[in-house]
Amino acid sequence: MSSFAAINKTMSDTIFSKIIRREIPADIVYEDEQAIAIKDINPQAPTHILVIPKKPIPRLSEATESDRDLLGHLLLTVQRVAEQAGLSNGYRVVINNGADGGQTVDHIHFHILGDRQMKWPPG
């Protein structure tokens, strides 16, 4: 078990931490020491992938200065995963924050939505 997964076991018990620990299955499309990317089980676009840090941060509003490098890594991971998914015509990246922001899992994650024209405003 990686150090992030071990931390996850003690600090958080969300569906994402269970996926990271391989306690429940997921369609994993990318993984490194700090992050995992999975296909969303309720896709809102033809391509809908979630990029999730292995370190449990409940929401963006709770990230701290010490999370700076991890958050940068996650954005670069979004870029890498979108490229691997063939989203050369563009894609949308969404971070929901809190109940009013539509966040349903208290573990920060980035939605990559693509393979269709996005509308504005979004919500």
Q: Name which residue leads in pLDDT, 8 or 52.
A: 52
pTM assigned to the model: 0.89
Instruction: Tell which residue, 27, 40, 47, has the closest CA to residue 87.
Output: 47
- Angstrom distance (rounded) from CA 47 to CA 55: 25
At the topology level, CATH places domain 3-114 in HIT family, subunit A (3.30.428)
What per-residue confidence (pLDDT) applies to 12? 65
Cα 106 to Cα 28, 45, 73, 109, 119, distances in angstroms: 20, 22, 20, 9, 26
If one counts every other C-beta atom within 10 angstroms of the C-beta of residue 100, the result is 7
Delimit the domains of the chain by residue range. 3-114
> What residues contact residue 23 under an 8 Å CB cut-off, 6+ apart?
none
Q: Which of 48, 73, 107, 109 is the catalytic position?
A: 109
Instruction: Identify whether 109 is a catalytic site residue.
Output: yes
- Angstrom distance (rounded) from CA 120 to CA 96: 16
pLDDT tens digits for range 63-113: 999 999 999 999 999 999 999 999 999 999 999 999 999 999 999 999 999
